[in-house]
Amino acid sequence: MSFTLAIVGRPNVGKSTLFNRLVGRKLALVDDQPGVTRDLREGDARLFDLRFTVIDTAGLEEITDDSLQGRMRRLTERAVEMADVCLFLIDGRVGVTPSDETFADILRKKNARVLVGVNKSEGKAGDSGALEAWSLGLGDPIRLSAEHGEGMDDLYHALRPFEAEFAPREAEILPETEVDISEEEAELEVDEFAHRPTLKKPLQIAVIGRPNAGKSTLVNRILGEDRMLTGPEAGITRDAISIRSDWMGTPVRIWDTAGMRKKARITEKLEKLSVADGLRAVRFAEVVVVLLDNEIPFETQDLRIADFAETEGRAVVVAVNKWDLETERQEKLADLKEMFERLLPQLRGAPLVTISGKTGRGMDRLHEAILKAHDTWNRRIPTNRLNTWLGAMTEAHPPPAPGGHRIKLRYITQAKTRPPGFVIKCSRPDELPESYKRYLVNGLRDHFDMPGTPIRLYFRSQGDANPWKERKFHTPSRLRKHTDKPKLDRK
């Protein structure tokens, strides 16, 4: 990416719509009500042959106190300062307002490179707004229609000079999941650190949980700056925002997501979009941090969220936030571990870390738990060790014999990583009960030190020992019984 473009302006002028147009996907939430966007969202923009980073910001309002709108404004002003170019967007059908004139003066002081865009200027309705935009003194107004894609060529010519001015930046690469490996690859000696995060392939982390669990505060603590909007109000975060950073020497790309309430309580369209955006972030992550509130841990919604992360095949770390407020820590920790093992058996052995996003307590333990979960998620086990293990497991507890038919487990090999997946060749795979499958999964966790990570078992039929069972033969006519001739009456 060559430069960074921040889109700023009053609420509901079409900033998020233009952002989605530039990145080519519906990443930012868009709704008719003003003030939908609250955090800063970055994306890789593509405008003809131009490649740059675009930032969607919250709507500028004339509020400077510590209210939610005031905190949103300060976050937007910070984006203006760190961006290379600013696109100041106004509503062409409303025209230039006193607020636009105030914000234009602020932009001149904070950023030397400011372009003015007149959105919603399609047709004659936007003519007056385009003419009024000259009074802002920010150069030639660019007439745009983010909804219909008009004026993109004019925006291209306005941004083109900045491409050569700024050095190119690295593009983000999505992580690989469900990686297939052959039996030969499983036998090879693999560098145990080959999957470790790098600048080109950072460790992708998603922080999910119920509203007001402290997700944005935790993300800010990891980043070392107030990058995400926080406050005592529940449900501040709406978009799933990803930020690249260096956390204790580990390159990471961390996703802050909106709080997920029970489905029955979600009635507004905007909250449905926010939750869907958070679920999408889980699919892009490698490690998912399920954040619990220390005061009300392991509620039904927490269990659903953790189960969703496991179902998607992501490495899971459970973090209990607001631990600085706990007085009886030893007793509470014992209760948390007991509830975890009882309520989430599918994540048996997953790391349970107590932290405080506000004070930074336990952040080193969280970092260590995430790296260990990521290592386990990438684990490879040689086939000979797996078959030795399978023989011992079946000898200790043979498979059941439903209907008197014995089930034979003959062979096992690892077929996938991220998460680990194993193929077992056996007879009558459809008749193997779920309880025995859980016995094998728990055995893999304990014997090969894979606590908490999702494990996938695929059972395949190897066929019967009789090679002639399914074959049909043609009987010669001289050996065929003449059943078609009428029988003689011997009476």
To the question of whether residue 255 is assigned a binding role by annotation, the answer is no
Strand residue runs (E) in 210-334:
241-247, 250-256, 287-293, 315-321
To the question of whether residue 421 is assigned a binding role by annotation, the answer is no
The Cα–Cα gap between 256 and 100 comes to 31
To the question of whether residue 213 is assigned a binding role by annotation, the answer is yes
DSSP string, 151-205: THHHHHHHHHHHHHHS---PPP-PPP-SEE--HHHHHS---TTTTS--SSSPEEE
In the 3-class helix/strand/coil scheme, how is 65-105 assigned residue by residue? CCCHHHHHHHHHHHHHHHCCEEEEEEECCCCCCHHHHHHHH
352, β-bridge pairs: 318
To the question of whether residue 100 is assigned a binding role by annotation, the answer is no
Question: Angle 356-361-365 (CA atoms, 0-180°, nearest 5)?
Answer: 105
Token pair listed for 177: 């999941």
To the question of whether residue 446 is assigned a binding role by annotation, the answer is no
The Cα–Cα gap between 218 and 237 comes to 13
Non-local (6+) Cβ contacts of 176 within 8 A are 418
To the question of whether residue 387 is assigned a binding role by annotation, the answer is no
To the question of whether residue 16 is assigned a binding role by annotation, the answer is yes
To the question of whether residue 49 is assigned a binding role by annotation, the answer is no
Residue among 360, 57, 313 nearest 176 (CA)? 313
Contact between residue 411 and residue 387 where contact means Cβ atoms under 8 Å apart: yes
To the question of whether residue 442 is assigned a binding role by annotation, the answer is no
CA dihedral angle for residue 100, residue 106, residue 109, residue 112, rounded to 10 degrees: -40
To the question of whether residue 211 is assigned a binding role by annotation, the answer is yes
To the question of whether residue 324 is assigned a binding role by annotation, the answer is yes
To the question of whether residue 9 is assigned a binding role by annotation, the answer is yes
Residue among 79, 86, 71, 87 nearest 42 (CA)? 79
The Cα–Cα gap between 89 and 145 comes to 11
To the question of whether residue 357 is assigned a binding role by annotation, the answer is no
To the question of whether residue 70 is assigned a binding role by annotation, the answer is no
To the question of whether residue 43 is assigned a binding role by annotation, the answer is no
Residue 444 φ then ψ, to 5°: -65, -40
To the question of whether residue 200 is assigned a binding role by annotation, the answer is no
To the question of whether residue 265 is assigned a binding role by annotation, the answer is no
To the question of whether residue 20 is assigned a binding role by annotation, the answer is no
Non-local (6+) Cβ contacts of 17 within 8 A are 30, 119, 146, 147
To the question of whether residue 331 is assigned a binding role by annotation, the answer is no
To the question of whether residue 67 is assigned a binding role by annotation, the answer is no
To the question of whether residue 489 is assigned a binding role by annotation, the answer is no
To the question of whether residue 419 is assigned a binding role by annotation, the answer is no
To the question of whether residue 361 is assigned a binding role by annotation, the answer is no
To the question of whether residue 226 is assigned a binding role by annotation, the answer is no
To the question of whether residue 28 is assigned a binding role by annotation, the answer is no
To the question of whether residue 313 is assigned a binding role by annotation, the answer is no
To the question of whether residue 443 is assigned a binding role by annotation, the answer is no
To the question of whether residue 461 is assigned a binding role by annotation, the answer is no
To the question of whether residue 12 is assigned a binding role by annotation, the answer is yes
To the question of whether residue 349 is assigned a binding role by annotation, the answer is no
To the question of whether residue 256 is assigned a binding role by annotation, the answer is yes
**Residues present in the chain in total:** 491
Instruction: Answer whether the bond into residue 419 is a cis peptide, omega within 30°.
Output: yes
Show binding-site residues: 9-16, 56-60, 119-122, 209-216, 256-260, 321-324
Positions at the binding site for GTP: 9-16, 56-60, 119-122, 209-216, 256-260, 321-324
